[in-house]
Amino acid sequence: MGLNEFEFMLDETFLSEFEFSPIEYCKVEVDLKLFKTESMYDLKFDFKGVARVGCDTCAEDIDLPVSEKFSLIMKLSEANNFDDPELMYIARTEIEFDLKQYLYESLMLSLPQKKNCDNLPEPKPCNQEVLSRLNHIETEEIENSDDEKDSNTADPRWDKLKDLLN
């Protein structure tokens, strides 16, 4: 009963247990405060560290900061029920409960949806070769769309079809 505190690390060993994880490296310290009563467990997680992900823009591996807080309430009941993501019902007969999946999903949720180098300090680890190729492709697409606009207005066959609409 009462407050219990735990500290542990999420790292590549932890991530290796998840076969299709989009990240393979992280160093995230988890501070867990567990408050126990006779009928429930109130868990407060505090994540702090870094996770290495591929940049969505330049494809370079970047270390993004992780700093999030999550809560979970586990109520003791007659049977397990995991339908609610913030409130779990676990059987009173359970002696231990594996939180790996919850920790993994919380780690994934702590990462930004758009992962890029924008908010990282200088010097940014951007892959300049990929960025220059993307810029070149974008320039070509703009030029091609301008050419298509010019060619569409110059073709008199389309003018005859437009007359049908009137």
> Tell me: the pLDDT tens digits for 128-151?
676 667 666 667 666 666 556 555
- Return the SS3 of 88: strand
pLDDT of residue 156: 73
- Return the SS3 of 160: helix
For residue range 114-123, what is the model confidence (pLDDT) as tens digits?
A: 877 766 656 6
Place of tokens 């940049």: 55
Q: Which of 87, 84, 63 is nearest to 74 (CA)?
A: 87
Give the integer Cα–Cα distance in Å for 160 and 166.
Answer: 11
Q: Give the range among 12-16, 37-41, 155-159 with minimum mean pLDDT.
A: 155-159
Residue 26 pLDDT greater than 90, yes or no: yes
Q: What is the band of 60 on the pLDDT scale with cuts at 50, 70, 90?
A: confident
Q: pLDDT: is 137 or 90 the higher one? A: 90
Q: Which of 147, 71, 163 is nearest to 109 (CA)?
A: 71
Q: What is the band of 28 on the pLDDT scale with cuts at 50, 70, 90?
A: very high
Work out the percent of the chain whose per-residue pLDDT is above 70. 78
